[in-house]
Amino acid sequence: MGHHVGKPSLEDLLEGESEERDHDVALVPDSVKWGSIDPSSGGGGGGGSCFIATAAFGSYLDPHVAVLRSFRDSFLLTNRFGKAFVAWYYATSPPYADAIRQNGLIKAGECIALLPAIGFAYLSLAVGVTPALCVSLAFLFALASSGRLFRAHCAAAPTIP
C-alpha cells in the first residue's frame, strides 16, 4: 500500500516527477507512479505516445504534453473505458500527428484546440475528475448563458439605417 502525500503542484506535474512518490490523485491505484514515463520507449504507462500533443507542441517533454501523459496514466489507464479510448487513440492518431507536424498553421491551431483538454487534465490531476467535471460544466453553462444574453442584447439594440 502506498503512502499518502499532498496534492501535486504544477511544478510536480511538469518537472518534479519522482519514482519514490505514489500518485495520490483520487482513486488512482498504487501501481501508478510518478516518473513511470520513459521517453525513449515512446510513451508512458500505456506503452505509447501522446502523438497529437507531441506533434503540436513539438516535443514529448513539453510541459503541456507531460500534463496529458499524467492524466492518461492516472485516470484513463485505470479503467476499461479509458484503456479502450487510449487503444483507439494509438491506432488512429499517428496519421493526424504527421499532418500536424508538417503544417505550421495546423500545428498552431492544434495547440490552441488542445488547451481545454490540457486545462481539464491539469484540474483533474489537482482535485480529481469529478470536481474538474463540475467546474468544466459550470464554465460551459456560463459561456452558453453569456452567449444567449449577448444575442438577446444585440437583437434588442436599435439598428442603424
* C-beta neighbour count of 82 within 10 angstroms: 16
State the pLDDT confidence band at 52, using cuts at 50, 70 and 90: very high
State the pLDDT confidence band at 107, using cuts at 50, 70 and 90: very high
Stretch 90-101: mean pLDDT, rounded?
94
